[in-house]
Structure 1
Amino acid sequence: MKPAVLALAVQAALAAAPAWAQESKPELTLGEVKVQGTAAGITEGSGAYIADESAGSTGLGLSIRETPQSVTVITRQQLDDQNIHTMDEVLATTAGITFTEMDVGARTTYRARGGEISNYKIDGMAYNGSTGFNSMGMAVNMDLYDRVDIVRGANGLLGGTGDASATIDLTRKRPGKTFGGKVGLQVGSWDQRRLVADVNVPLVEDGSVRSRFVISSEQADSFRERQSTENYGALASFEMDLGSRTTLGAGLQHEKGYIKGATWGANVPIWFADGSKTSLSRKTNPVADWSYREVEATTAFARLEHRFDSGWKTELAAAQMWGATTSHLGVAKVNSTSGGYGGYWNQDGSGAVLNAFHSEGVNSMSTMDWKLSGPFELFGRTHELMLGYSSAWSESTAYGMRCSLNGVALASNCQSRISASAAINDWDSWDGSFAPLLHSRTGAKTITRTYNHGGFLASRFSVADPLAVILGARVSTYRTYADAYTAAGAKTHGAPSGNKNVVTPYAGVVYDIDRNYSAYVSYTDMFKPQSSQDVDGKYLDPITGASYEAGIKGEFLDGLLNASLAVFENEQQNMAEADGANLTPTGAQAYKAKGKGVKTNGFEIELAGALTPNWNIYGAYTYIDVDDPSTTAGRSDPRHLLRLNTTYRLPGEWNKLTVGGGMTAQSEIPTVSSPAGAPLSTSNGVTASAATKVTLPGYALFSAMARYQVDAKTDVALNISNLFDRTYYRRYGFYAGSIYGDPRRITLSLNTRF
Structure 2
Amino acid sequence: MKRVLTALATGVATCALTVTAHADDAAATSDTAKKSEESIVVTAPATQDISSATGLPLTIAETPQAVTIVNQQQIKDFSLRNVNDLLDQVPGVNVERAETDRTQYDSRGFTITNFQVDGVGMPLLSGGIAYGSLDTALYDRVEVVRGANGMMTGVGNPSATVNYVRKRPTDTFQASVTGYLGSFDDHRVEADISGPLNSSGTLRARVVGAHEDSDSYLDYYHVNRNVIGAVVAWDVTPDLTATAGYSRQQNNADGVMWGTLPMTYSDGSQISYKRSASTAAPWTYWNTRNQSAFAELKYNLGNDWSVKGTYTFNRIQYKSKLLYAYGYPDPDTGLGISGMTGIYPTDYKQDIYNLDASGPFQLFGRQHQLAFGVSTGRNSGHEYEGFSDTYPDYPAVSEIGNVTIPEPDDYPTPVLQARTIDRITRVYGAIHWNITDRLTAITGASATWLKSTGDSYGVDEARKNSKVTPYVGALYDITHNVKLYASYTGIFNPQSEVNAGNQRLAPATGSSIEAGVKSEWFGGKLYATAALFRAHQKNLAEAAGTFGDDDVGPAGGTYYVGQTTTSKGFEVEIAGKITPNWTVGGGYTGFTLKTPDGERAFTYIPNRTLKLNTTYTIPQLNDLKFGANLRWQDATHIDDSTVQDAEGNDAVVRQGHYAVLDLMAGMTVTKGIKAQIVVDNVTDKKYLNSLAWGQAYYAAPRTVMGSITFSY
**Paired residue for 1:391, among 361, 370, 376?**
376
CA distance in 2, matches of 1:325, 1:46: 42
Pick aligned residue for 1:592 from 561, 584, 596: 561
Letter paired with 1:334: Y
Cα distance in 2, alignment partners of residues 30 and 60 from structure 1: 33
Residue number in structure 1 paired with 2:252: 258
**Separation in 2 of the partners of 1:187 and 1:571?**
47
Corresponding position of 2:421: 449
The alignment yields a C-alpha RMSD, in angstroms, of: 2.8
SS, match of residue 710 in structure 1 = strand
Separation of aligned partners in 2, 1:216 and 1:189: 18
What corresponds to 1:94 in structure 2? 90
Code of the aligned partner of 1:505: P
Show the counterpart of 1:213: 207
- Corresponding residue of 2:30: none
Name 2:519's counterpart in structure 1.
554
User: Shift of the alpha carbon at 1:113?
Assistant: 1.1
Return the match for 1:109 from 104, 108, 132: 104
Whether the aligned pair in 2 keeps the contact of 1:48 and 1:77 (CA below 8 Å) is no
Describe the superposition over 1:25-45 as per-residue Cα deviations: whole angstroms up to 9, x where unpaired. Answer: 999996568xxxxxxxxxxx8
Match of 1:628 among 574, 595, 600: 595
Structure 1: 5+ residue stretches without partners? 34-44, 336-341, 406-418, 486-491, 682-688
Asked if residue 55 in structure 1 is aligned to residue 51 in structure 2, the reply is: yes
Q: Structure 2 residue aligned with 1:377, among 347, 358, 362?
A: 362
Shift of 1:228: 1.2
Q: d(CA) in 2 for partners of 1:110 and 1:146?
A: 21
Residue number among 170, 175, 197 corresponding to 2:164 in the alignment: 170
**Match of 2:487?**
522
Structure 1 position 69 matched with structure 2 position 65 = yes
CA distance in 1, matches of 2:576, 2:483: 17
Deviation digits for residues 460-482 of structure 1, max 9, x if unmatched?
11010001010000111011121
| Alpha-carbon distance in 2 for matches of 1:632, 1:676 | 20
Q: Is the 8 A contact 1:702 1:721 kept in 2?
A: yes
d(CA) in 2 for partners of 1:110 and 1:366?
24
Q: Which residue of 2 aligns with 1:576?
A: 541
- Of the candidates 481, 503, 507, which is equivalent to residue 453 of structure 2? 481
CA deviation after TM superposition for structure 1 residue 665, in Å: 0.5
Q: Tell me, what secondary structure is at the counterpart of 1:738?
A: coil
Shift of 1:581: 4.2
Deviations 1:527-586 (A, max 9, x none): 001111223332211100000000000011111111100000001101112333456623
Hey, what does 1:663 align to over in structure 2?
Answer: 630
Contact 2:96–2:692, Cα closer than 8 Å, also in 1: no
Structure 2 CA distance for partners of 1:675 and 1:100, relative to 1, 3 Å: farther
1:190 and 1:550 mapped to 2: Cα distance? Answer: 46
Whole-Å Cα distance in 2 between the matches of residues 460 and 437 of structure 1? Answer: 64
Alignment pair present for 1:511 and 2:511: no
* Aligned residues of 1:24 and 1:558 also touching (Cα < 8 A): no
1:658 is paired with a residue whose SS is strand
Distance 1:176 1:384 in 2: 28
> Is the contact between residue 12 and residue 519 of structure 2 (CA under 8 Å) also seen in structure 1?
no
Checking the alignment, whether the CA contact within 8 Å between 1:87 and 1:140 is kept in structure 2 is: yes
Secondary structure of the residue aligned to 2:378 is strand
Whether the 8 Å contact between 1:48 and 1:616 is mirrored in structure 2 is no
**Aligned-partner SS, 1:242:** strand
Verify the 8 A CA contact 2:13 2:482 in the aligned structure 1. Answer: no
Offset of 1:390 from its aligned partner? 1.5
Secondary structure in structure 2 of the residue aligned to 1:538? coil
Q: Distance in 1 between matches of 2:236 and 2:302?
A: 15
1:749 maps to 707
- 1:183-206 deviation line (CA, Å, top 9, x unaligned): 000000111001001111421112
Q: What's 1:17 paired with?
A: 16
Q: Deviations over 1:120-179 (max 9, x none)?
A: 1111111569877x9654352101100111011100011011111000110110011222
Q: What is the DSSP-based 3-state SS (H/G/I as helix, E as strand, rest coil) of the residue aligned with 2:75?
A: helix
Say whether the 8 Å CA contact 1:192–1:221 is kept in structure 2.
yes
Structure 1: how far apart are the matches of 2:180 and 2:123?
Answer: 29
CA distance, structure 1, for counterparts of residue 497 and residue 42 of structure 2: 42
Q: Percent identity of the aligned residues?
A: 28
Partners in 2 of 1:158 and 1:186 — Cα distance? 37
Cα distance in 2, alignment partners of residues 546 and 376 from structure 1: 31
8 Å CA contact retained: 2:254, 2:285: yes
**Deviation (angstroms), 1:493:** 9.4
**Contact 1:24 1:556 (C-alpha < 8 Å) held by counterparts:** no
**Inter-partner Cα distance in structure 2 for 1:427 and 1:569:** 45
Equivalent in the alignment of 2:463: 497
Q: Which residue of 1 aligns with 2:224?
A: 230
> 2: distance between equivalents of 1:370 and 1:643?
37
Amino acid at match of 2:241: T
Instruction: Identify which of 340, 346, 349 aligns with 1:355.
Output: 340
Contact 1:226 1:287 survives alignment (8 Å):
yes
Deviation at 1:261, TM superposition (A): 1.8
Q: CA deviation at 1:369?
A: 1.7
**Aligned partners of 2:266 and 2:643 also within 8 Å:** no
Contact 2:395/2:403, CA 8 A, preserved across alignment: no
Residues 540 and 315 of structure 1, relative CA distance in 2, 3 Å threshold: same
* Residue 118 of structure 2, aligned match among 94, 119, 123: 123
| SS of residue in 2 equivalent to 1:222 | coil
Alignment-derived partner of residue 531 in structure 1: 496
Between the aligned partners of 2:616 and 2:451, the Cα distance in structure 1 is: 51
Using the alignment, how far apart are the partners of 1:384 and 1:49 within structure 2? 22
Q: Which residue of 2 aligns with 1:428?
A: 399
In structure 2, C-alpha distance between the alignment counterparts of 1:499 and 1:733, rounded to whole Å = 28
| Contact persistence 1:359–1:398 (CA under 8 A) | yes
Q: How many residues align?
A: 698
Is 1:639 paired with 2:597?
A: no
Correspondence for 1:410: none
The match for 1:334 is 326
> Residue in 1 aligned with 2:3?
4
One-letter amino acid of the counterpart of residue 354, structure 1: G
Question: Over residues 215-251 of structure 1, what are the superposed CA-to-partner deviations in whole Å (9 max), with x where a residue is unaligned?
Answer: 1111111111111112221101100011222211001
1:600-642 Cα offsets, whole Å, 9 max, x none, are 0100000001111111110201111111136676623222110
* Partner residue, 1:468: 440
Identify which of 703, 721, 740 aligns with 2:698: 740
Q: Which residue of 2 aligns with 1:288?
A: 281
Note closer, same or farther for the CA distance 1:51–1:675 as it changes in structure 2 (3 Å cut). farther
Cα distance, 1:46–1:84 mapped onto 2, change above 3 Å: farther
Say whether 1:179 aligns with 2:159.
no
